[in-house]
Amino acid sequence: MTHSDDVSAVHDIEVLALHPKVHEYATMKPTKVTHKAKAHWKRNSECPTGCDLKKDFNDIKPTTLTERGALAEAGRCLKCADAPCQKSCPTQLDIKSFISSISTKNYYGAAKAILSDNPLGLTCGMVCPTSDLCVGGCNLHPTEEGPINIGGLQHFAVETFAKMNVPQIRDPNLPPISSLPDSYKAKIALIGCGPATISCATFLGRLGYQDVTIFEKEEYGGGLSSSEIPQYRLPFAVVNAEMQWMKDLGVKIVYGKALGSNGFSVESLHQDGYKAVFLGFGTPTPKIDKVFEGITVQQGFYTSKDFLPAVSQASKPGMCGCKTKQLPPLHGRVIVLGNGDTAFDCATSAFRCGASRVYVCFRRGFGDMRAVPEEVDLAKDEKCEFIPFVLPKGVIMKDGHVAGLEFYKTEKNDKGEYETDEDQTIKLKADFIISAFGSQIGPVAKACAPLTFSNGPADVDLVTMQAKAAPWIFAGGDLVGNGMTVEAANDGKQASWHMHKYLQSLAGIEITGAPKLPLFCTPIDAVDISVDFAGIHFPNPYGLASATPCTSAAMIRRSFEQGWGFAVTKTFSLDKDLVVNVSPRIVRGTTSGPKYGPGQGSFLNIELISEKTAAYWLKATAELKRDFPDRIVIASIMCGFNEADWTELAIMAEKSGADALELNLSCPHGMGERGMGLACGQNADMVLNITKWVRKAVKCPFFPKLTPNVTDIREIAKAAHAGGATGVTAINTVSGLMGLRADATAWPAVGSEQRTTYGGMSGSATRPMGLRAVSSIARALPDFPIMATGGIESADTAIQYFHCGAGVMQICSAVQNQDFTVVQDYITGLKAYLYIQSRSDLAGWDSQSPPHKKVADLYHGKHLPKFGEYVKERNRLRKDHALKKDLLEDDGHLAVHDKHVSSIEDSADGSNKTDSAKRSTKYETIPVPSVNSQIGRGVSRIGDYNQLNNKQQVVALVNDELCINCGKCYMTCNDSGYQAINFDADSHIPEITDKCTGCTLCVSVCPIIDCITMVPRETPYIPNRGIPVSNHVLA
């Protein structure tokens, strides 16, 4: 019982009205009331957009991910060995690598991995039928959480990188164009600017071919990706970005050049001196059932070849340069014929053109549908109606216009064949009919000669994509029967290599061995990340710590082959101090909660130093330096507090050719009990003496490895500095006990007695301790070289250590979580970070995370959550905006060229236009900073508490549009903060009150990135003292 003047009395009754409380009784509520509440809070409406889709071309792909969603999904990926997902991808994307890069927020690294194997990586991320390809092979399929959303991750990574507006360049490690033989100047023609052609031309450009020209019949590029895949699935800006990356390599596009018109043919190109021709256009002639012969568009009959290009030209900004195109004027009922992907694109597009009902009618049953599940599910969600087992019999006309369609029924016999039952018919009313029965080569086949066709597909070798009738002709995509965008991209990729071999053979140059197609490269890849540290030149600042990744010299050799800049050997000793390990000894941490598989936040080990002899490591060091002279090998050694031992071992290690020594004075378990490791490293006087002994014995650089298990690590560092050490390594593992089981045994538990000991904890859980140690040493000993180790799981976290004063990074747990190839993620991530600093237009980016794009206020300042009646109001306002919006107005999304500078040039005769568009460079640049310039950048901002300014206060600000109304901010503020957030009972919109003290706890628990931000406080902060100071009476 409290009194009104009690300071412990609860006064925030209204604020706490919705706060969780312990239940004392069962909860009762009539079902009638629950029905009303369910309707109010419902989020999973059957049609998310309200099913009124006219002129609504916003992205509707369920796979699309925000940064938050991408990071969470990438964190689920197992990054499997010999990953089946990759084997199911026609272009053989290194899926585990690009997802690994996403999980570390290295979006350039992810995009590079994708675009290296598939120049159409962004398009494919949006439209690939992943359920039938990569996702179909995901090893997580049997688990409760299901397979990874690979397409969504691919889409996110490449789109995020594309926003950087960085051009593609040839690999700077390849011979320069000027040094290539004249055979690389051969004229190459590609016909049709679709996916197969873009892929082929891109790889030819990477190889160094300098005269590559694409001939396109339309006034825009992209092929069917532009003309037949709707804007809400694939914006033209995406296709344009991929074409721009291709044009960055010098590829030219000639528009308005139709095969078979004005004498333009494959043979004419050959006669004009083109040494090789690639045919990458689609099959242009629609297949039309005879019942529709003579019926026109004006009468209400479209083929997909009529309908989808008309929709695209009226809804894709920037595609055809026109502003007057209108959507096909549909209304009422629309019948779409066919059950492939194109049919479902027609169906969902019909709603956006004004149809009120859409029927998808097809001959087969649901079990034999050709469309991928993604397309079918989308059409179902948008209320398309499916009518299987029907075949057109005749069109019903009224007043010269389509009025309906009569069908025969079909049936599937015991052999699995479909038969027509002419005794059963049905009629459907319709105002329009769209036929999507596929397409064929048609009359243009004559202009392809000498290429021949056999019952549809072109006669080519499906490995080399080379025509059987003429070795200078290559083809891919629809022409050879590979209709998927990703298959077409792979055809172009295959053709590029074999075209390269063919062209070089004409010059007498034989190309042998496995294909060596160059990777995707940009100016980011040319960034120099070498480091001059402690008098040693490191090719890059990433090395393996003295731990399990360096168990053997063969492992170090393999790590160097993958790109690591240095390695610290597993710690070795004199033979008299050799050890034998126990098992088990390395276990997953508990700091990440019940997370299993890779991505562990910590490990705990009770492993000792190397079981191998000093002789082994000395020989290994010499061999590694012999074979990798540019890589740095650091010998890690350990002795007891004995000058003779340290002198002997240090001299031996130096003579082996090691670039530097690391003195292990910090192993937290086992060795300390022998008077080594931690037993020495916790005592400043012992560290001083050991470093003096080693400095007297050797001339090479050496670094004592410091333990965090001390009161003040600065005192140990100062002792090392005074003793003559070149620098220090900080930190070794943190001593700990990871946890106990329900039966009171710990893990690891050794032997039948199930005994354990305190082990060394590593991984990202130790990073705060590592950053504190490094920064405090850097403050205490400016310019004293520091090698950092402790939870460096990505380039982003390495950058934090650079800023705290470290010069190079030692890594272990990230390799334990994955493999040696992670170094490439660190490398590209650091290069991208440094490059971004050189670009003024990227100043608002947080490393590789773009700033949130400000969207137009469609809701007139109203705070409308995304549930119940509120979402209906959102849909109404969104619909009003869509109807008024100019669909062809460019929103600047993925803009990659300068619209104010014409790059489309008329040809000599004025009949065609050639596009060699240059990328916009409307930004200021400075030289890319060096790695050395980043060392210690943040140290001046780290200091004592009394240096902090308590006059400049901040408060929380909630972005209602990002908020998902979970109330986590409200709950934590109530029970762990200042009761400064109101939570509306009807809308669940949080409102920050003037009681906010800026503690930032709400930001810390909010599940949505940047939903809550801290902004400057506009009024002076007056602390709530509880009892005014003047009235305070001491007890």
Q: How far apart are CA 789 and CA 813, in angstroms?
A: 10
Q: How far apart are CA 868 and CA 987, in angstroms?
A: 10
- 386 forms beta bridges with 360
Helix (H) and strand (E) counts in the chain: 28, 35
Q: How far apart are CA 590 and CA 568, in angstroms?
A: 28
Max distance between CA atoms of the chain, in angstroms, equals: 109
Please tell me the predicted confidence (pLDDT) of residue 896: 46
User: Which conformational region is residue 263 in: left (phi greater than 0), alpha (psi within -120 to 50 degrees), or beta?
Assistant: left
CA nearest neighbour of 276 among 495, 491, 489: 495
Q: What angle do CA 423, 428, 431 make, to 5 degrees?
A: 145
The helix, strand and coil proportions of the chain, stated in percent and rounded to the nearest 5, come to 35, 15, 50
Q: How far apart are CA 697 and CA 651, in angstroms?
A: 6
Asked whether the bond before 584 is cis by omega within 30 degrees of 0, the reply is yes
The answer to whether 150 and 135 are in contact (CB under 8 A) is yes
Tokens 């060392």 -> residue: 935
> Could you tell me how far CA 199 lies from the centroid of its own chain?
21
Q: How far apart are CA 467 and CA 480, in angstroms?
A: 10
* Candidates 667, 969, 999, 1006; catalytic one: 667
Torsion on CA atoms 387, 392, 397, 402, rounded to nearest 10? 50
Residues 6 or more apart whose CB falls under 8 angstroms from that of 179 comprise none
CA nearest neighbour of 194 among 265, 130, 128, 123: 123
- Residue 834's CB is within 10 A of a number of other CB atoms, namely 21
Q: How far apart are CA 194 and CA 176, in angstroms?
A: 29
Q: Is 131 exposed, middle or buried (0-12, 13-18, 19+ CB in 10 A)?
A: middle
Please tell me the predicted confidence (pLDDT) of residue 51: 65
Q: What angle do CA 95, 833, 726 make, to 5 degrees?
A: 110
Question: Can you give the three-state secondary structure of 687-713, one letter per residue?
Answer: HHHHHHHHHHHCCCCEEEEECCCCCCH
Q: Is the dihedral of CA 837, 840, 844, 849 positive or negative?
A: negative
**Buried (b) or exposed (e) across 646-677, using 16+ Cβ within 10 A?**
bbbbbebbbebbbbbbbbbbbbbbbbbeeebb
Please tell me the predicted confidence (pLDDT) of residue 14: 81
> Could you tell me how far CA 906 lies from the centroid of its own chain?
39
**Buried (b) or exposed (e) across 147-163, using 16+ Cβ within 10 A?**
bbbbbbbbbbbbbbbbb
Q: How far apart are CA 697 and CA 692, in angstroms?
A: 9
- DSSP states of 22-88 as a string? --SS-----HHHHHHHHHHH----SSTTTT--TT--S---TT---HHHHHHHHHH----TT-HHHHT
- DSSP states of 442-490 as a string? GGGGGGGTT--BSSSSB-B-TTT-BBSS-TTEEE-GGGGT--SHHHHHH
Q: What is the three-class DSSP state of 838?
A: coil
Residues 6 or more apart whose CB falls under 8 angstroms from that of 935 comprise 802, 803, 805, 806, 807
Q: What is the pTM of this model?
A: 0.95
In the β-sheet with 390-398, what is the strand arrangement from edge to edge?
390-398, 401-412, 418-429
The answer to whether 756 and 735 are in contact (CB under 8 A) is no
> In this structure, what DSSP letter does residue 415 have?
T
Q: How far apart are CA 30 and CA 49, in angstroms?
A: 31
- DSSP states of 42-57 as a string? ----SSTTTT--TT--
The answer to whether 106 and 795 are in contact (CB under 8 A) is yes
Q: Which two tokens stand for residue 204?
A: 């030819």
Residues 6 or more apart whose CB falls under 8 angstroms from that of 1026 comprise 7
Q: How far apart are CA 854 and CA 837, in angstroms?
A: 23
- DSSP states of 114-168 as a string? HHHH-TTHHHHHHH--GGGTTGGG-TTTTSTT----HHHHHHHHHHHHHTT----
Average pLDDT per consecutive 10 residues, the chain (1035 residues; last block may be shorter): 80 85 94 94 72 87 93 96 96 97 98 98 96 95 95 97 97 96 98 98 98 97 96 95 97 96 96 98 94 96 97 93 86 96 96 96 93 89 95 97 97 93 96 96 96 94 97 97 96 98 97 96 98 98 98 98 98 97 95 88 96 98 98 98 98 98 96 94 98 98 97 98 98 95 94 96 97 98 98 98 98 97 98 97 95 75 89 87 85 48 43 67 88 98 95 95 95 95 95 96 96 95 89 50
Q: Are strands 913-915 and 252-255 parallel, antiparallel or unpaired?
A: antiparallel
Q: How far apart are CA 438 and CA 456, in angstroms?
A: 12
Answer yes or no: 128 catalytic: no
- 566 forms beta bridges with 543, 632
Tokens 């006990």 -> residue: 737
Taking only Cα atoms into account, the Rg of the chain, rounded to an integer number of angstroms, comes to 34
- Residue 717's CB is within 10 A of a number of other CB atoms, namely 27
* Contacts by 850-855, CB closer than 8 A, 24 or more apart: 850/160, 850/163, 852/962, 852/1010, 855/961
CA nearest neighbour of 257 among 907, 902, 903, 916: 907
Question: End-to-end alpha-carbon separation of the chain, Å?
Answer: 23
Residues 6 or more apart whose CB falls under 8 angstroms from that of 987 comprise 863, 865, 870, 965
Tokens 């670009």 -> residue: 839
